[in-house]
Chains A and B, each alone.
Chain A
Amino acid sequence: MDKIKTAIIGSGNIGTDLMIKILRLSTRLEISVLVGIDPNSDGLARAKRMEVKTTHEGIDGLIKMPEWSDIKIIFDATSAKAHHFNWERIKNFSDKKVIDLTPAAIGPYLVPPVNYSDNTDLPNVNMVTCGGQATIPIVAAVNRIAKVHYGEIVASIASKSAGPGTRANIDEFTETTAEAIEKVGGAERGKAIIVLNPAEPPLVMRDTVFTLSENGDKDAIRKSIHDMVQEVKKYVPGYDLHQEVQFDDIPETNPVFIEGLGYRHGLKTTTFLKVKGAGHYLPEYAGNLDIMTSAAMAVGEKMAQNI
């Protein structure tokens, strides 16, 4: 079977890492073009060395290239604003599907082990955020055992792994992730926090997931979380539980006051995750990069089966 041809728009950290992943690991996808806007970007230079075609003229440059007609899947790793622009161009070509790695969220949120099957045949799907990809599977794992009232996540990433795009759009991270905790994770209310840590040597990405759910069988919740970690590990090998799942009972006599929900009680479940990157473009600490590009590639491979 021939590999499906793809292009990546965005030659920053995420786009370049995704290119390397597809080149090295994918059995179903082939990377035809890496698209940038800065002819001197490190990503485009890397692509040339790896014999991938490039353009520095953005989406319009790509559409002019002879490779364009054969490309079936386009990954957009630019910014929310740029994605809106790119999508206006791409949507006129009905044979092409877009996997959006920006927070633009034109298409529905997609977290592979949670809701891929609901969204197999759409022209545009969104990959939420790095923190969302790491944590929403856990919220869903609790929710399939005990209804989750509230899901909160804290993503700590190494300063070196946060590029200028991420830094200039930090609200998009918190807002997009919170919304996807509700829409995909199943929580009645979601909250997301991101912390940048500049320590040297850089710290590996950590994510902590707190849920407040109805009282449920703790063993069943623990098992559900462990099973989900194994599901994510299939496409992100560096994804692990860093501690055993922790439980706290929040009794009706001493409830917590959650904005938007009021007083709630039940079971608090805390899950400590560590996401070690594969070290493709940035070193191992950049698990945030790895989980995003790995999830996007996993979605691309599933899409390729249906093309």
Chain B
Amino acid sequence: MEHKIYLQDVSLRDGMHAIRHQYGKEKLKEIAIALDKAGIDAIEIAHGDGLAGGSFNYGFGAHTDWDWLDGIKDALTQAKLTTLILPGIATIHDLKKANDLGVESVRIATHCTEADIAPQHIEAAKKLGMDVGGFLMMSHMNEPKALAKQAKIMEDAGADCVYVTDSAGALLMDGVIDRIKAFRDVLNPQTEIGIHCHHNLSLGVANTIVALQHGANRLDASLAGMGAGAGNAPLEVLVACLNKMGAQHNADVYQLMDIADDIIRPLQERPVRVDRETLSLGYAGVYSSFLLHSERAAKKYGLDTREILEELGNRNMVGGQEDMIVDVALDILKSKSN
């Protein structure tokens, strides 16, 4: 069963991480409208850690999710308004609130081995009539067959699509291909497969393309890569490649180039790029959102960011455990003074 390419922009959700969740309401709306005009299929808006992510642990946003979402639906002409939740942080109550604000599609995100905390939320979203994606974060930490079993749990609960989510930007191209193939082997043909990459090993675009070639059709990307760590697959680059491949989609590459360079890049306080810190995320297999928190802890406690990231990797910390960054920094200080 052939599914159409579906481009989802994550600049206004994953991109939140790059600027400590500080998008102004008007700026966010301007970007959403520009993406809609440029022909993007879906636009995801939420705190970087999903609805209700605003916290000491993940950083408080400049606005609440509800303020960011308010009025966006009516400003869009063709793109779907989407959001994301992590069970354990946001609840079904939050999902309903987003739905009331016009959100028609949602990704339910869990760690790659914990899909069974998601069925309640998937079922609730389906009851609201929403399009639902299951989002298996840190997919590099689970083997293809085992990951596909988790995808099946999400499909059984009603997910329309399940994603290979390379939150750490740690997968190589073979690793992506094996996981997409494993999904295709067990999922129903009508269930779509998605791919969400981070660019920490400079493979964001390449990994997205091989996923497409092996059966994924929902592709995540963000303008100028605006996302956690070294960012996501840069949307304008991905679309340029899709054009050269002759792939069918609705996006306009020149408009995307302009939004990326004229609107998004000037917002970046810390450049979103592959450098020693973000490369270390991919190399050590660490959750990309840990970047700015680790840089802050390194500064406060006089440590090297890479040292903290490496230890977080050694300890198998998963997405959401940002509190363990300072804990690790304090442990490193203790071991140095001994």
Q: Does B330 contact A (CB under 8 A)?
A: yes
B316's partner among A194, A195, A197 (CB-CB below 8 A) is A197
Enumerate chain B residues within 8 angstroms of A115, measured Cβ to Cβ. Answer: none
Which residue of A152, A168, A175, A206 is within 8 Å of B56 (Cβ)? A152
> Please, what's the 1-or-0 string for B99-130, where 1 marks a CB less than 8 Å from any CB in chain A?
00000000000010110110111000000000
For A170, the chain B residues whose CB sits under 8 A away are: 87-88, 117, 120
Other-chain residue from A164, A193, A196, A212 in contact with B57 (beta carbon distance below 8 A)? A193
The 0/1 profile, CB within 8 Å of B marked 1, for residues 4-16 of chain A is: 0000000000000
**Cβ of B318 under 8 Å from chain A:** yes
Specify which chain B residues have a CB less than 8 angstroms from the CB of A159 in the assembled complex: 113-114
Residues in chain A near residue B113, CB distance under 8 A: 159, 198
Contact assessment for B119 and A208 in the assembled complex, using a CB-CB cutoff below 8 Å = no
A191 interfacial contact with B, CB 8 Å: yes
Q: Which of B59-67, B190-198, B223-231 contacts A (4 or more CB under 8 A)?
A: B59-67
Q: Inside 8 A of B55's CB, which chain A residues have their CB?
A: 152, 191, 193, 210
Q: Does A46 sit within 8 A of B, measured CB to CB?
A: no
Chain B residues with CB under 8 A of A203 = 315-316
Cβ 8 A contact of B119, one of A154, A168, A175, A258: A168
Q: Is B39 an interface residue, CB under 8 A from the partner?
A: no
**CB-CB contacts below 8 Å: B209-242 with A:** none
A199 CB contact (under 8 Å) in B52, B91, B315, B331? B315
Query: Knowing A174-B88, A206-B324 touch, does A152 contact B57 (C-beta < 8 A)?
Result: yes
0 or 1 for each of B65-94: is its CB under 8 Å from A? (1 = yes): 000000000000000000000011101110
With a cutoff of 8 Å between Cβ atoms, the chain A residues found around residue B89 in the complex are 174, 193
Chain A: minimal CB distance from B142 (Å): 9
* B271: Cβ under 8 A from any A Cβ: no
A268 within 8 A of partner (CB) = yes
Q: With the chains together, A272 CA to B325 CA distance in Å?
A: 11
The answer to the question of A120 belonging to the interface, with a C-beta cut-off of 8 Å to chain B, is: no
**Complex interface bits, A148-188 against B, C-beta within 8 A gives 1, otherwise 0:** 00001010100100001001111101110000000000000
Is B120 a contact partner of A259 (Cβ separation < 8 A)? no
- B317 close to chain A: CB less than 8 A: yes
Q: Mark B166-191, 1 if CB is under 8 A from A, else 0.
A: 00000000000000000000000000
What separation, in Å, do the CA atoms of A154 and B293 have in the docked complex? 16
Given that A170-B88, A174-B88, A208-B57 are contacting pairs, would A199 and B316 also be in contact in the complex, using a CB cutoff of 8 Å?
yes
Q: Which of B91, B317, B318, B319 lies in contact with A174, CB distance below 8 A?
A: B91
Q: Is the CB of A208 within 8 A of B54?
A: no
How many angstroms between the C-alpha atoms of A174 and B60 in the bound complex?
18
Q: How far apart sit A53 and B320, CA to CA, in the bound complex (Å)? A: 43
Give min CB distance, B185 to chain A, whole Å. Answer: 23
Map CB proximity to A onto B289-315 as digits: 1 under 8 Å, 0 otherwise. 000000000000000000000000001
A256 within 8 A of B: yes
Any A CB within 8 A of the CB of B323: yes
Chain B residues bordering chain A, tally (CB within 8 A):
38
B326: CB under 8 A from chain A?
yes
Q: What residues of chain B lie closer than 8 Å to A305, measured between beta carbons?
A: none
Counting contact residues on chain A (CB < 8 A from B), the size range is 35 or more
From B61, B120, B323, A154 is in contact (CB under 8 Å) with B323
B327 smallest CB distance to A (angstroms):
5
Q: Which residues of B contact A208 (CB under 8 A)?
A: 57, 323-324, 327
B321: CB under 8 A from chain A? Answer: yes
A290 shortest CB reach to chain B, Å = 21
A residues in contact with B120, CB < 8 Å: 168-171
Judging by beta carbons under 8 Å apart, are A171 and B87 in contact? Answer: yes
Asked if A257 is at the interface of the complex by the 8 Å CB criterion, the answer is yes
Partner of A242, one of B114, B119, B322, B327: B327
A116 to B92, CA, bound (A): 32
- Known interface pairs A152-B55, A170-B88; A195-B326 also in contact (CB < 8 Å): no
Closest to B64 in A: A259
Contact A167 B116 (CB under 8 A): yes
Decide if A156 touches B324 in the complex (CB within 8 Å): yes
A262 to B189, CA, bound (A): 47
Q: Does A124 contact B (CB under 8 A)?
A: no
A198-232 toward B: CB 8 Å interface, digit per residue (1/0)? 11000100101010100000000000000000000
Are B327 and A243 within 8 A (Cβ)? Answer: yes
Q: Give chain B nearest CB distance to A259 CB in angstroms.
A: 5
- Given A154-B57, A167-B117, A246-B326, A196-B111 contact (CB < 8 Å): yes
Q: Given A171, A210, A242, which contacts B93 in the complex, CB threshold below 8 Å?
A: A171
Binary contact readout B145-158 vs A (1 if CB under 8 angstroms, 0 otherwise)? 00000000000000
Shortest CB-to-CB span from A81 to chain B, Å, is 13
Which of B64, B92, B317 touches A171 (beta carbons < 8 Å)?
A: B92
Looking at the assembled complex, report how far the CB atom of A53 sits from the nearest CB atom of chain B, in whole angstroms: 33
Chain B residue contacts of A193, Cβ below 8 A: 55, 57, 88-89, 320
CA distance A199 to B324 in the complex (A): 14
Given contacts A168-B120, A243-B330, contact A210 B57 (CB under 8 A): yes
Q: What residues on A are CB-neighbors of B91 within 8 Å?
A: 171, 174-175
24 of the cross-chain contacts (CB-CB < 8 Å) are: A152-B57, A154-B57, A156-B323, A156-B324, A167-B117, A168-B116, A168-B119, A171-B93, A173-B88, A193-B88, A193-B89, A195-B318, A199-B315, A208-B323, A208-B324, A210-B56, A210-B323, A246-B330, A256-B60, A257-B62, A259-B54, A259-B64, A270-B323, A272-B326
Extra A-B contacts (16), CB below 8 Å, given A152-B57, A272-B330: A154-B322, A156-B321, A159-B114, A167-B114, A168-B120, A170-B117, A171-B93, A174-B89, A175-B91, A196-B111, A198-B111, A206-B324, A208-B324, A212-B56, A242-B327, A259-B64
By Cβ-Cβ distance, the 9 closest A-B pairs, closest first, are A208-B323, A199-B316, A210-B56, A171-B91, A195-B320, A198-B113, A194-B88, A154-B323, A243-B330
